[in-house]
Structure 1
Amino acid sequence: MATQVQAPFFETTYATVSVIGLNNVFVGLIIAGIVGEFSVVLLVPIITSAACALGNGLGYYAWGSDYPVVNRAVAAAFSNFTWMTTRLHNTSSFANSSEYRKDVDRVLRDELGVMYVGLPRFHETFFGRVADLTTASEAVFKKCMEGGEPLFSNGWSGWPKDANQDDVLSWFAELSEKLATLAEDYKSIPTHRRRPLAQPNKPIQGSTAERKLDVGFVDNPKAGKDSRCHWSQILVPGELKSNPAADTAAKAWLDLGTYAREVLAAQDIRRFVLGFTICGSFMRIWEFDRLGGLASERFDINEDGLRFVSTVLGFLWMNEEELGFDPTFTAANGQRFIEIERNGSKERLIIDEVMQRARCVAGRATTCWKAHREGQPQIPLVIKDSWQYPERGEEGALLREVTSKGVINIARHYYHETVQIYGTDDDVRNNVRGGLDVTSATNYRPERSAPPSSTMASVSRKGRSSSVAAGKKRSSSQAGASLPHSKRSCSTSQASGNLSNRVHRRVILRDYGTPIYKASSRTSLLAALDGCIEGHESLRKAGILHRDISINNLLINEDVNNPSWPSLLIDLDLAIKEPREGASGAKGKTGTRAFMAIGALLGEQHSFMHDLESFFWVLFWICIHCKGPDEHRVVARFDKWNYIDTEELAEQKKGQVSHEGDFIRTAKENFTPYYQPLIPWVNRLRKAVFPNGGWWEREDGGLYIRMRQILQEAQKDPTT
């Protein structure tokens, strides 16, 4: 059913959201003065809002509904000045990370955003699809109330009065088994294809870091207390808390979100995950998808026994599609495949292996599979699925254009589509969530539901556009990029007044390679990097800027039987045409933190120079984290790059490259023995990318050839 995924796909999402933290006090004061419609009295809620944000750690509550006049005025000011744009990144962005819980939780909280709860029609939306569930649940619940020792009588028999977690776990597992047995007369499909599992003290296999699951439903009917389960077997995760007060975003909800992330990462065709929380005797049903998390109204299982029975039986009886698996994938005769209609005829594409799967809940959640057309195993294809904002241009259309223009060393287009589920575009709001209206949630607030975001805030740098012309001088406005965040001019645009949505898109490529860090030798790595830079220049000459140079977007092909490019760039999700005519309207800009250029981290409008700098950071990162083609490590000093604030990361990167002696010392201390011979060449690249140890002042198209010449000379060095 599900495939274990080994290779992570790294993605960082930066989104403009409601203002957060103490800096907002100062921004509020500044805006109050600029807008000119505030009295001093109205400064109080601004300060109060910032204080509240610090207190609860969630920016979504920074501007409450108690001060609508302030909110409107502040929103208007932000539409004009938009200085305080908070960048949030995504848990799939972690590169070579140990994924400690404290670090993951902080980022996951941002990624999930507001988790809407108390939605009416939730149960009908997700459980109403299960055949015979209503009739069977009523009949089973009636049986539970019969006999001399009924299972239910003013509450469930055996319910631990103190709601002790271990006791509740045992009670839940035993009662679920009894309900499944009672239901066998009402369902032709055996309920024991899956079973409840309670292993609060036993780690589930398949996590980067150790993760334990309180309770859930697994696809292994023989699973018991001593079974070793993998996240690929967890169909429905659950979280139990003895205290009803733990039914909050910071506690039970976030814990369940952590489990949902592991399930989605381990099951490569999972579109969404259903789960549940029980806090005391209060239960909620949850759904996690590529926009975040939603939950039902809270109910007391000892008062609404019928709903509890319906929930348990629903989890036991749901088919794979109802549980969130992609029905466009079919399994038969030991193979998985999809079917497409291309050039007027149907084609069956056989899945060979999972290449990478994003470890996240909300986001693009890119998954790639190696595949081939049925009967043509010698010609590799790559299937790429992702969940995109509908406002963004389609990567598939851009790839088709690139392919037609003969751009070299870029993955070539084969096919693309918006995934259809029974004739309907597969999106989150209408298809996955069945049209559930989050504005009906008990914790919905308009101010935090549609943050003023679209593209990542970008520092306006007049005279430093991303056009093909070189030699443009940095203006005084560009120099302001090194000022504190609140001093930098940023621009954002909003897609619409509507709530977010994501659409399931599929692109198929006719080039295949492996990540560049798996190069068989140092020389092969250098040659592949050279080829990728050549591909980037070819792409730019076609009028397109890539904007997402990262370790998993640079591939190498060392298979002589593979007709693909020897090295190639992939992933045009964030690529734009130059000169860009306007913002896409999508709600964020993504990239991978560890490889982002200093200026990009500080919010500059993206230039090809930023991409060239990212090539340097990719090589720098590989030399530190790779012991060879197949062995990698985590380095605590650089693991922090996955989590720290983007401005702090920019400062750290400046410190790495500003002084030659310091850089060489850092390289000697941190490059693996395998990559120590590259230190002189990486240093030469540093001097080319950061002339005099400083930030580039002018766009310079000649940097392409200078970087490539260094890499070509390095390949001839016998010590490499």
Structure 2
Amino acid sequence: MNVNISDPGRFQPLPRSQPSPPASSGPRTDGTDLRRSAMLAAATPRRSRSVASGHPTTGGTPVVPRTRQGSRSSELKSSLDPQIKSEIEGNVVEVKPDAFVHAFLYPSSPLAERDIVRERDLRLATACFDALKEGKSTDKELMSMLEDPDCPQYWEDAFTLLDFNVEKEENLYTPFQKLFTFINAFYRVSLAEEQEPFDVDAAWRAPVDPNPRKAGNTRSSSKLLRRDFFNTHNARLKFSPRFVGETADLGPDLVLLLHHNKDSSTKPASFHWKDVKVSMEVKIDFSSEGAKITQMARYARAMLMEQFDRKFVLTVSLSATQCRLFHWDSVGCHATEIINIHETPILFIQCIARLAIMTPAELGYDEHFSNAGRVLSHHQLTTTLTVHQSKIRKYTERTPSPEETESLPSDTPAPMLLELDTKRFLFESRGMLFHRHTRVWKGKVVLDAKEWKTGQTHVVKQNWAEDTRPCEGYFYQLTDGIPTIPSLVRMEECDRTWAYHTRIANEDVIGYLKATEKKSERQPGKDASVQQAADPFIEPSLGRGANNRDRSRTPLYEGPGESIERVLLRFVFEEEYRPLSEALSSIEVLNATVQWIQGLIALDGLGIVHRDISYSNLMLPTTDQGYDSFRWSSGELGDSKMAKIIDLGLAHLTEVQGDELAPSSLCAPSIVPGTSIGLQKSGLDGVAEIRQDGSSTPDAPTPRAHHHITGTLPFIALSLIRKLQGLPNTRFIEHALHHDVESVFWVLVYFCHDRAKTVATKLMTATLRALNNPNIDQVASVKAEIISDTDILSNISGPFEELRDFLQDYADHHQTCKRKKKTIDATKVLEMAIEHRDKLIKRWRENPASVPVYEPPCLRPTTPVDSAKRKISAPEDSSDVGEGEEESSEEEAGTPRKKTKHGISVTSQMEF
């Protein structure tokens, strides 16, 4: 095949048809409380149900395809703002100020206790207002603040220095900072006089390392941390190195900051997002509130990214006369109606004071983590996590059945204490705001906290899952006997978003706030399923906006009255596995392929379809990171070495009659009546609507339907992409076993192209670029060419070119099935994989040098002894070095490099 790689039309999108409008479904009948802080909460819900239990089907989960994460991430405004506007459109709900204060500023303790605290704070706010109005105080510290000419006072029904006469925004920073500092100090002094220092200080003690073996460690601390307001307009708050590929241009005007200085007059040398408790933005007025809401969203995202122990955040938007408060969580955002600070000064003072005196738990910190909310950015402390055992329920909705609410058995294990490796996350989501917020760590079991004895290392995962989906823990319980699925040690249901949202009554909701227009508008009739487009594609090599590989995008309301809520789930798995990027040889990859397909077939036998097979969800077996790993990877295949399929968070229970589960056919999909899929897609970092010509349209509405496609775009089966395109004869296709098997094929195609960077041909480079394209039509076009044209697969070269024959045979099988109008036979593909694996093992045994063994960066020798012992060295390509790792040179290793045509060094005889 002669191809002009420079031709921009190399992979042209195929024509597509106009999709049919989505069908509606019947009303909800299970009696679940749908009270929600949504203006549309009283409308008829539309959740599809097709299982006897009355729970929504997993096929109806509103999930859109994702694209592969780029190699670099950018926090620049130009990259983030278009995505954030798309993300928050239809997800910022305006509520009455009193309802917001009740729901989000006083979230803890019984109702009676909350009322007592609110009455106390209101009384103090009135006293603080009187002091500002009179300009007097009996306390010397407060009086000195009132005498400061930059501190506003209340005179003639307005705060001085804060009025319409202010011409420049920067003239507001200092007055607001001085006013907030006075309010903070007034509450401190007043509560101390009332002998209630706990609310202000005791909950914010300096952190103590839980590991008693750390030098200078003590079991308790009498030192108290301070929370003060600072002017940070000219500062750019720092991110952790793991987040930013480019310098971020993100800095709020004011922050409530946690610090260790003795007083607020000592300004920290630098500011870090980890230390920010509340961020604030100041504008001259609210005329361009859409931009202000977008800015609030950026601040909220920055805090949630940096503070892994935080469940929600609060931000404040200010002008010379007005303010709004925002509450951001994994579902959406609630904002107060505009508060006129001059007309309602006591409410304004109460809100600011409450932000300053809230405890870590009230500010959204998860106290399952040690020192939650009290670890400063410069601290180097051990982090522990306590995980309890919850009863694994099939569904985690807010109204569990009586069987699900039964108490745990008497032999329930004690809480597990884990020492987390927070310096190196195994995975951390890089998405926008409203998604699962998945994080994965390694954690050692703490057997003895006094002597600090640790035991086995586990994998700890947490995410905010949709509460109407089957619980991921339930899938692991069902698959306990499948060796390719990780073993679940325990699971805990930790928190729920509806615990806060249900405090907002329907009559307290005003409408939606828009981020895509300069002026805020209330939209009592808006359908939140209409989304805006994301930013255009940016090349990974040039830096890009945030990525969200675990994106499960759910607007605040999925259509009229649809209540979307999430539950925080925490999982502990038996052990860590290796990513595909650390593959040692083609033999290892083919053997893992056999096991992955076997696992998918076993899942299908239990009535489960994975639906999210991707590069990051197919794991390789554990190794001892040493000599034996090379021997095993080259042909000594033991039964104990099992590849794994991880992340069942988007798995699907096959729909059947009654409560029994049934597999889809090994050769046929589950075909059920449905509607045309909505044309939403996830770009590299957001959501875009696709036109007939395949381009993005920022203002076009996007229809939705029940049976949504899930997965990561480069790895989704071609027929499912055709459904996304809305092509004829695809509307009844539903995700089934053969689609997951095909996804394994696409993972291997991507893997071969990605790992051949130094020796990749122009065609391979163009293919990889096309697979990474966020445009659905472009991806469909290149996939159609790959699967139908053996020239592209035969062009594969590089360290894993031995996979080429298997990929070609799969493509031939795919085309044969297509001509016969049949679906892929999973058992046939399994037999093919076994055959190619065994041929490769035989070839290696006859001539070990014929099958190169690749040594990834994490296993490269660091001493001459190790290098000589293995007699295997790494490729010259420095791009294979993992993030945060350094490539060891041959001079350091002390072993001469023998170059092959693939850039891989191998000896003629490997000593095993």
When normalised by structure 1's length, the TM-score is 0.69
> Using the alignment, how far apart are the partners of 2:766 and 2:565 within structure 1?
36
Query: In the alignment, which residue of structure 1 is the partner of 2:172?
Result: 168
> Using the alignment, how far apart are the partners of 2:475 and 2:233 within structure 1?
48
Alpha-carbon deviation of 1:110? 3.8
Q: Encode CA deviations 1:233-259: one digit per residue, 9 max, x unaligned.
A: 2222333333411222xx221222222
Residues 788 and 811, structure 2, Cα contact 8 Å, conserved in 1: no
Residues 420 and 444, structure 2, Cα contact 8 Å, conserved in 1: yes
> Is 1:185 matched up with 2:200?
no
Q: How does 1:303-318 map to 2 (within 5 A)?
A: 303-318=343-358
Residues 351 and 371, structure 1, Cα contact 8 Å, conserved in 2: yes
> Using the alignment, how far apart are the partners of 1:643 and 1:101 within structure 2?
22
Alpha-carbon deviation of 1:411? 0.6
Residues 195 and 221, structure 1, Cα contact 8 Å, conserved in 2: no
Alpha-carbon deviation of 1:636? 11
Query: In the alignment, which residue of structure 1 is the partner of 2:102?
Result: 124
Root-mean-square deviation (CA, aligned residues, Å) is 4.5
Q: How does 1:490-505 map to 2 (within 5 A)?
A: 497-505=561-569
Structure 2: 5+ residue stretches without partners: 1-15, 24-38, 48-59, 108-113, 137-146, 192-196, 205-224, 373-380, 390-407, 448-452, 513-522, 532-556, 630-638, 658-671, 675-704, 724-732, 758-764, 845-849, 854-912
Query: In the alignment, which residue of structure 2 is the partner of 1:362?
Result: 434
> Using the alignment, how far apart are the partners of 2:708 and 2:814 within structure 1?
34
Query: In the alignment, which residue of structure 2 is the partner of 1:549?
Result: 613
Residues 61 and 708, structure 2, Cα contact 8 Å, conserved in 1: no
Q: Given the alignment, which residue of 805, 815, 832 partners 1:706?
A: 832
> Using the alignment, how far apart are the partners of 2:239 and 2:65 within structure 1?
23
Residues 91 and 108, structure 1, Cα contact 8 Å, conserved in 2: no
Structure 1 residues 156 and 495 mapped into 2: Cα distance closer, same or farther (>3 Å)?
A: closer
Query: In the alignment, which residue of structure 2 is the partner of 1:112?
Result: 88
> Is 1:612 matched up with 2:746?
no
> Is 1:536 matched up with 2:539?
no
Alpha-carbon deviation of 1:116? 0.8
Structure 1 residues 346 and 245 mapped into 2: Cα distance closer, same or farther (>3 Å)?
A: same
Q: How does 1:3-14 map to 2 (within 5 A)?
A: none
Residue 414 of structure 1 aligns to a residue in which SS?
A: strand
Query: In the alignment, which residue of structure 1 is the partner of 2:875?
Result: none
Q: How does 1:135-154 map to 2 (within 5 A)?
A: 135-147=123-135, 151-153=153-155, 154=157
Query: In the alignment, which residue of structure 2 is the partner of 1:284?
Result: 324
> Using the alignment, how far apart are the partners of 1:525 and 1:651 within structure 2?
27
> Is 1:400 matched up with 2:477?
yes
Alpha-carbon deviation of 1:708? 4.9
Query: In the alignment, which residue of structure 2 is the partner of 1:46?
Result: none
Higher helix share: 1
> Is 1:512 matched up with 2:576?
yes
Alpha-carbon deviation of 1:410? 0.7
Residues 91 and 104, structure 1, Cα contact 8 Å, conserved in 2: no
> Using the alignment, how far apart are the partners of 1:607 and 1:645 within structure 2?
24
Residue 440 of structure 2 aligns to a residue in which SS?
A: strand
Structure 1 residues 307 and 352 mapped into 2: Cα distance closer, same or farther (>3 Å)?
A: same
Residues 689 and 703, structure 1, Cα contact 8 Å, conserved in 2: no
Structure 1: 5+ residue stretches without partners: 1-22, 32-63, 66-70, 77-84, 420-425, 454-492, 629-634, 669-675
Alpha-carbon deviation of 1:293? 1.1
Q: Encode CA deviations 1:330-370: one digit per residue, 9 max, x unaligned.
A: 44994423142473342323132243332332122223333
Residues 90 and 363, structure 1, Cα contact 8 Å, conserved in 2: no
Q: How does 1:323-338 map to 2 (within 5 A)?
A: 323-331=363-371, 334-338=382-386
Alpha-carbon deviation of 1:167? 3.2
Structure 1 residues 174 and 656 mapped into 2: Cα distance closer, same or farther (>3 Å)?
A: farther
Alpha-carbon deviation of 1:440? 3.8
Query: In the alignment, which residue of structure 2 is the partner of 1:391?
Result: 468
Q: Given the alignment, which residue of 679, 688, 691 partners 2:810?
A: 688
Q: How does 1:197-276 map to 2 (within 5 A)?
A: 197=230, 198-200=232-234, 202-206=236-240, 207-208=243-244, 209=246, 210-215=248-253, 216-221=255-260, 227-248=269-290, 251-276=291-316
Residues 363 and 387, structure 1, Cα contact 8 Å, conserved in 2: yes
Q: How does 1:280-679 map to 2 (within 5 A)?
A: 281-331=321-371, 334-341=382-389, 343-353=411-421, 354-360=425-431, 361-375=433-447, 377-403=454-480, 406-419=481-494, 426-429=495-498, 431-437=499-505, 440-444=508-512, 448=526, 451=529, 497-519=561-583, 527-560=591-624, 566-578=642-654, 590-603=710-723, 604-623=733-752, 644-655=774-785, 657-662=787-792, 676-679=798-801
Alpha-carbon deviation of 1:126? 1.8
Q: Given the alignment, which residue of 216, 220, 227 partners 1:194?
A: 227
Residues 533 and 704, structure 1, Cα contact 8 Å, conserved in 2: yes
Alpha-carbon deviation of 1:295? 0.5
> Using the alignment, how far apart are the partners of 2:767 and 2:272 within structure 1?
31
Structure whose CA Rg is larger: 2
Q: Encode CA deviations 1:156-189: one digit per residue, 9 max, x unaligned.
A: 3333744633333343333333332333202323
Q: Encode CA deviations 1:303-354: one digit per residue, 9 max, x unaligned.
A: 3333332222222211111111123334499442314247334232313224
Alpha-carbon deviation of 1:549? 1.0
Residues 384 and 418, structure 2, Cα contact 8 Å, conserved in 1: yes
> Using the alignment, how far apart are the partners of 1:307 and 1:637 within structure 2?
59
Structure 1 residues 86 and 512 mapped into 2: Cα distance closer, same or farther (>3 Å)?
A: closer
Higher strand share: 1
Residues 793 and 807, structure 2, Cα contact 8 Å, conserved in 1: no
Q: Encode CA deviations 1:187-246: one digit per residue, 9 max, x unaligned.
A: 323496223341455253134352402233232355987744333222223333334112
Q: Which moved more, 1:296-305 or 1:131-140?
A: 131-140
> Using the alignment, how far apart are the partners of 1:587 and 1:272 within structure 2?
30
Q: Encode CA deviations 1:97-149: one digit per residue, 9 max, x unaligned.
A: 53465554444444334111134410222223584533333322322222286
Alpha-carbon deviation of 1:450? 6.8
Residues 261 and 359, structure 1, Cα contact 8 Å, conserved in 2: no
Alpha-carbon deviation of 1:612? 2.2
> What amino acid sits opposite 1:177 in the alignment?
T
Structure 1 residues 647 and 432 mapped into 2: Cα distance closer, same or farther (>3 Å)?
A: farther
Q: Which moved more, 1:558-567 or 1:384-393?
A: 558-567
Q: Encode CA deviations 1:371-403: one digit per residue, 9 max, x unaligned.
A: 344328443333332222232112212211211
Q: Which moved more, 1:201-210 or 1:639-648?
A: 639-648
Residue 558 of structure 1 aligns to a residue in which SS?
A: coil
> What amino acid sits opposite 2:463 in the alignment?
S
Structure 1 residues 226 and 506 mapped into 2: Cα distance closer, same or farther (>3 Å)?
A: closer
Higher relative contact order (CA 8 A, sep 6+): 2
> What amino acid sits opposite 2:251 in the alignment?
L
> What amino acid sits opposite 1:310 in the alignment?
Q
> Using the alignment, how far apart are the partners of 1:438 and 1:626 within structure 2?
54
Alpha-carbon deviation of 1:285? 0.5
Residue 386 of structure 1 aligns to a residue in which SS?
A: strand
Q: Encode CA deviations 1:7-29: one digit per residue, 9 max, x unaligned.
A: xxxxxxxxxxxxxxxx999968x
Q: Encode CA deviations 1:526-562: one digit per residue, 9 max, x unaligned.
A: 6545543443333334442211112332233434399
> What amino acid sits opposite 1:111 in the alignment?
E
> What amino acid sits opposite 1:275 in the alignment?
T
Residue 261 of structure 1 aligns to a residue in which SS?
A: helix
Alpha-carbon deviation of 1:606? 0.9
Q: Encode CA deviations 1:609-640: one digit per residue, 9 max, x unaligned.
A: 22123223334444555699xxxxxx999688
> Using the alignment, how far apart are the partners of 1:176 and 1:643 within structure 2?
48
Query: In the alignment, which residue of structure 2 is the partner of 1:473?
Result: none
Residues 331 and 337, structure 1, Cα contact 8 Å, conserved in 2: no
When normalised by structure 2's length, the TM-score is 0.56
Residue 236 of structure 2 aligns to a residue in which SS?
A: strand
